[in-house]
Structure 1
């Protein structure tokens, strides 16, 4: 086994890009809350975009490494250290066997992602290694990590081995070494107000004029009751012009539902597959990772975006990832 969990943190789970093709059976997609951070971490260690990583929430774990490994940390800032020495995020890091990687409390953002060359070796369930805690399957026995858990890694690709050899040579006798190049993070709000792009929902026009105005002009605060299933917001009360009995319909990540109390809920990775509350909007896919990095008490404001512009934004993000992959290979000397 590659690592041993000394302390699991608040909520640390194995996640990848999700479990697709089973929503008609009531199985949600799940997967990482911040997909961009997951994909960047994987690229930094030479993995495919979709490989399994550890998703770390609010308070991080302490991990003992039983073999030399190539890792990368992306997402929120948890002040990670290796044997008490600070380690940088957003770059490849080689860590020597016997070293201890410790994550503290989130200083910026809400979630960090730890990738290892080859990806974490846990069973594939319905095409994904992601943990579905509510249903109790995927990841490590369908649950959050616990003290004493042992995790292995899958075989590395040639590029990962190339990076690992470079950094091991650079380390000399040190416990770890970091690449002198990095990719930019910059998606966490750091206690400032997040601005989230939203497409109008199917029932947007059925809300009162005051509610529609408030939705786009006033701020909402993230409730402590938020989780991987949904981000609950508090702020101005949103209400329909006329109470309507709705038939339950399919929902997706980013759906903004408004229950009878008038306080919106942004559905996230572990959302249900159908919902019966009116939908005032949909968070643009490209901004879901920003929502995922918000902590309780932080604020968010919505701005309108067209469907076409939202599609263009996700296309541009995918193109950016391709350029990052090429740039990593060039900086590392692989090409």
Structure 2
């Protein structure tokens, strides 16, 4: 069992979300950085989408009452197990009574804790992810609070053991680098309704991520607002995580993992899947820039990420087999 020692309104249990429930007007949800969650699970021999904890409010502390395999991935920052510093993107076994403390990131904004077997919370509409807006999924449909007791599912890869000091990733999921987060986008349905000058502004401007940023959406702010050729009235229509809408004020909104499934603002672009996680790791106040790519380039990026994740799974399976025989 795992006892939560600190609470907030932001730290939640997440997995890969409910993409199949979007036709029911249910948000896709799930981890804002799916790749970091997947890497943490693979370190432990779990399935990539098993449920873990998405930590956004720090410091976050948990205590273990039984030997528990755990991994820390995502944003980089200080983490200690009973005061012993753990490297970034690391897997280790916690012993009964030990306390894990996860401090605020030095790079990125979301950290992920995964556990051998995955967290044992009910499956609702095909996923264990917390939908705070709908008050379901995860741990009683809410963020984690002090005193919550979490259980893990049986470990599927029986016999897994770690070296005394654990092991980690040599090539973890990249975090936003430099002074700005660059994300690749595809033109969306109403792209052609924007003036040529606005399309230039969209891609040439440096946008700032405002404090109006949460799991539902990110509001950006720039020096020059964008405009349509002429005023249009749109019925609410389908949107999804990554959709970039432009309300009348002319400043873009990016739909994130807990986005509604429909909306009426014109859509100028869609962030490609591999870069949506970079936005999830972007802290408030950071600069964001858009780069338009072709459909083929987007597909290549998606396939590359899937190939690299599959290769990591194979490598870790080989590593764990070696440890088991050691």
Q: Which residue of 1 aligns with 2:97?
A: 98
Q: Determine the C-alpha separation between the residues in 1 that align with 2:57 and 2:5.
A: 17
Task: Look up the SS of the partner of 1:29 in the other structure.
Answer: coil
Cα deviation, residue 157, structure 1: 1.4
Task: Look up the SS of the partner of 1:14 in the other structure.
Answer: strand
Q: Determine the C-alpha separation between the residues in 1 that align with 2:73 and 2:177.
A: 15
- After superposition, the CA RMSD in angstroms is 1.5
TM-score by length of 1: 0.92
Cα deviation, residue 191, structure 1: 6.1
Q: Which runs of 5+ in 1 are unaligned?
A: 172-176
Q: Determine the C-alpha separation between the residues in 1 that align with 2:170 and 2:188.
A: 35
Task: Look up the SS of the partner of 1:327 in the other structure.
Answer: helix
- Equivalences for 1:12-23 in 2 at 5 Å? 12-23=11-22
Aligned match of 1:288 in 265, 276, 281?
A: 276
Q: Deviations over 1:75-132 (max 9, x none)?
A: 0123111112211222321111110001112221110111101000001111110000
Q: Deviations over 1:240-276 (max 9, x none)?
A: 1211111111011100000111110110100000010
Cα deviation, residue 58, structure 1: 4.3
TM-score by length of 2: 0.95
- Equivalences for 1:23-42 in 2 at 5 Å? 23-42=22-41
State which drifts further: 16-25 or 263-272.
16-25
Q: Determine the C-alpha separation between the residues in 2 that align with 1:135 and 1:244.
A: 31
Q: Determine the C-alpha separation between the residues in 1 that align with 2:185 and 2:3.
A: 41
Number of residue pairs matched?
322
Q: Which residue of 2 aligns with 1:317?
A: 305
Q: Determine the C-alpha separation between the residues in 2 that align with 1:260 and 1:309.
A: 31
Cα deviation, residue 190, structure 1: 5.3
Task: Look up the SS of the partner of 1:103 in the other structure.
Answer: strand
Aligned match of 1:261 in 233, 249, 263?
A: 249
Task: Look up the SS of the partner of 2:212 in the other structure.
Answer: coil
Task: Look up the SS of the partner of 2:104 in the other structure.
Answer: coil
Q: Determine the C-alpha separation between the residues in 2 that align with 1:193 and 1:10.
A: 28
Q: Which runs of 5+ in 2 are unaligned?
A: none
Q: Which residue of 2 aligns with 1:78?
A: 77
Q: Determine the C-alpha separation between the residues in 1 that align with 2:195 and 2:58.
A: 40
Task: Look up the SS of the partner of 1:105 in the other structure.
Answer: strand
Task: Look up the SS of the partner of 1:76 in the other structure.
Answer: strand
Task: Decide whether the 8 Å contact of 2:36 with 2:173 is kept in 1.
Answer: no
Task: Decide whether the 8 Å contact of 1:221 with 1:298 is kept in 2.
Answer: yes
- Equivalences for 1:34-53 in 2 at 5 Å? 34-53=33-52
Cα deviation, residue 185, structure 1: 2.3
Q: 1:86 to 1:9 in 2, by over 3 A?
A: farther
Task: Look up the SS of the partner of 2:78 in the other structure.
Answer: coil
Task: Look up the SS of the partner of 1:107 in the other structure.
Answer: strand
